Amino acid sequence: NRSLYKNEIQYGNFLGLVSHEYFHLWNVKRIRPIELGPFDYDNENYTTMLWISEGFTSYYDDYICQRAGLISSDRFLDLMVSNINSIENMPGNKVQPVSEASFDAWIKYYRTNENTHNTNTNYYSKGAILAMLLDLEIISASKGTKSLDDLMRVLYQKYYKKLGRGFSEAEFQKELENIVGKKMDGFFRQYVHSAEAIDYPYYFEKAGFKLNNLKLGKKDVGLGIGTSTKDGKTVITSVLRNGPAWKYGLNVNDELEAIDGYKIASDLNQFLSAKQAGDTLKIMVNRDGFLREISLILEPYSSSSFRLEALPNPTDEQMAVMRKWLGN
Ligand SMILES: [Zn+2]
C-alpha cells in the first residue's frame, strides 16, 4: 500500500522489513546454527538458536537503517525500547527461556493460542534485545574497537567460509568469549537458558544511558483481557496471568454481554476508564450459551513503560561506547 509510505515512521518500518529479509542472506543463509544445514525444506529442524538467527536479524534490521542514515538514532533507540516494552509486558517472558521458545517454534510460534502471551516469550524481540546487550558488552570490553559486527564476521569467515557448516551453541559462545575477553556462562545461563530478569542498567550504563520505567510505582486499572468484537459481539480472546479477569474466573471465549447492566460493544476501554481500583463490576457473560454473572473487584496491576534517557554527565568511556554504537 503505497500511501503508507507517506508517513515517515511507517516508511522506516517498511525499510526495516526489507533490511531484515536482506540481512538473512548472511545471518541464516550463511551464518547459521549447525542444526539448520544442509537446508532440508521437507522436515522440521530443531534448534535452540533462533534467538540468534531471527533475534540478531531483528536487531540489525533497524540498526542498518540507522547506520545508513535512513532513520535517526533517536528512532533506532525508540525501536529498541519498544522491543523491551513488548517483552517486559509479556507474562510468558518471565517463565519461558528464549532457547526453549526457539526449540518449540515448530509446534508453538506459528500456532498461537489464547494462552501464548502467558506461557511464551518471543525470540525475535527477546533475541534483538540480547543482540543489543552483547553489542554493548563487546564495544565496552574492547574500549570501542570492536562490536557485534566482529562476532558476525568471525562466524561467517570461520564456520561458513572455512568449515562450510554452521556453528554449535558452544562454538558461538566460545567465539563471543574470545571477542569480549571473558567468560559468558552467566549470560547464557540467565538470559538464554532461563528467564531471569535482565539487568538493563548494567548494559545501558556502558553507553551513558539510563532506562526509566515511567510506570514505576503506578498501577493500571483494567480487566487484564484482550477482546475482539465481531458482528456486535465482544469476545474475550486472552486473559492476562494474575490480572483481575484471571483471578475472578473470566475465560477465553466468554462473550461479554453487559457490565453493570450496560450493553458492552467496542466501548469497553472507554467504560473502564471511568472506573477505579476497588470498584465492583457485575459482568454478565455468555459462556457456551449459559448466562453467568461474575462480580469482580477492580484491582490495580503493574505494567511497564520504559524510556531511555541519556545520563547528564557521561564519562569519556561512556562517550566512546556511545559513539561506536550510534556513530555520533
Ligand atoms: Zn526473519
Give 20 Cα–ligand 1 centroid separation in angstroms. 6
**pLDDT attached to residue 218:** 77
pLDDT in tens, 20-55: 999 999 999 999 999 988 888 888 888 999 999 999
Could you tell me the three cell numbers for 13?
Answer: 518500518
Question: Residue 222: what residue type?
Answer: G
Cα 24 to middle of ligand 1, angstroms: 7
Can you give the CATH number for the domain in which 26 is found? 1.10.390.10
Between the CA of 129 and the centroid of ligand 1 the distance, in Å, is 15
Verify that 68 and 194 share a domain, yes or no: yes
**CA 302 to ligand 1 center in whole angstroms:** 32
State the pLDDT confidence band at 254, using cuts at 50, 70 and 90: very high
Q: What is the pLDDT of residue 273?
A: 82
Specify the pLDDT at position 118.
77
CA–centroid distance, residue 173 to ligand 1 (Å)? 22
| Residue 111: pLDDT band with limits 50, 70, 90 | low
- Ligand 1 centre and the CA of 75: distance in Å? 21
| pLDDT tens per residue across span 264-317 | 776 788 888 888 888 999 999 999 999 999 999 988 777 889 999 999 999 999
Check whether residue 17 and residue 57 sit in a common domain: yes
Residues 236 and 187 in one domain: no
Query: Is the domain of 162 the same as that of 291?
Result: no
Per-residue model confidence (pLDDT) at position 91: 86
Distance 58 CA to ligand 1 centre (A): 7
Q: Do residues 117 and 255 share a domain?
A: no
CA of 105 to the centre of ligand 1 (A): 13
pLDDT averaged over the chain?
91
Please give the distance, rounded to the nearest whole angstrom, from the Cα atom of residue 29 to the centre of ligand 1: 11
- Largest CA-CA distance found in the chain, in angstroms, rounded: 71
Q: Please tell me whether residues 129 and 116 are part of one structural domain.
A: yes
The whole domain housing 232 covers 220-301
Q: Which of 81-85, 157-161, 247-251, 298-302 has the lowest mean pLDDT?
A: 298-302
Instruction: Compute, in angstroms, the gap from residue 319 CA to the centroid of ligand 1.
Output: 32
Helix (H), strand (E), coil (C) string for 262-309: EECCCCHHHHHHCCCCCCEEEEEEEECCEEEEEEEECCEECCCCEEEE
**Predicted local confidence at residue 143, as pLDDT:** 94
Residues 30 and 122 in one domain: yes
19 CA to centre of ligand 1 in angstroms:
10
Instruction: Give the model's pLDDT for residue 109.
Output: 59
The tens digit of pLDDT for each residue in 197-249 reads 999 999 999 999 999 999 887 777 888 888 888 888 889 988 888 888 989 99
Give the distance (Å) from ligand 1 centre to CA of residue 153: 19
Quote the ligand 1 centre to 194 CA distance (angstroms): 23
Residues 252 and 130 in one domain: no
Q: Are residues 249 and 208 part of one domain?
A: no
Interval between CA 205 and ligand 1 midpoint (Å): 29
C-alpha 57 to ligand 1 mean position (Å): 6
Tell me: do 248 and 108 sit in the same domain.
Answer: no
* 239 Cα–ligand 1 center, Å: 28
**Are 157 and 285 in the same domain?**
no
Position 2 pLDDT exceeds 70:
no
Neighbours of 278 (CB within 10 A): 10
Other residues' Cβ atoms within 10 Å of the Cβ of residue 148: 23
- pLDDT > 70? residue 110: no
Domain count, the chain: 2
C-alpha of residue 143 to centroid of ligand 1, in Å: 31
Answer yes or no: do 187 and 171 share one domain: yes
Chain centroid to CA 286: 34
Mean pLDDT value across residues 98-109: 81
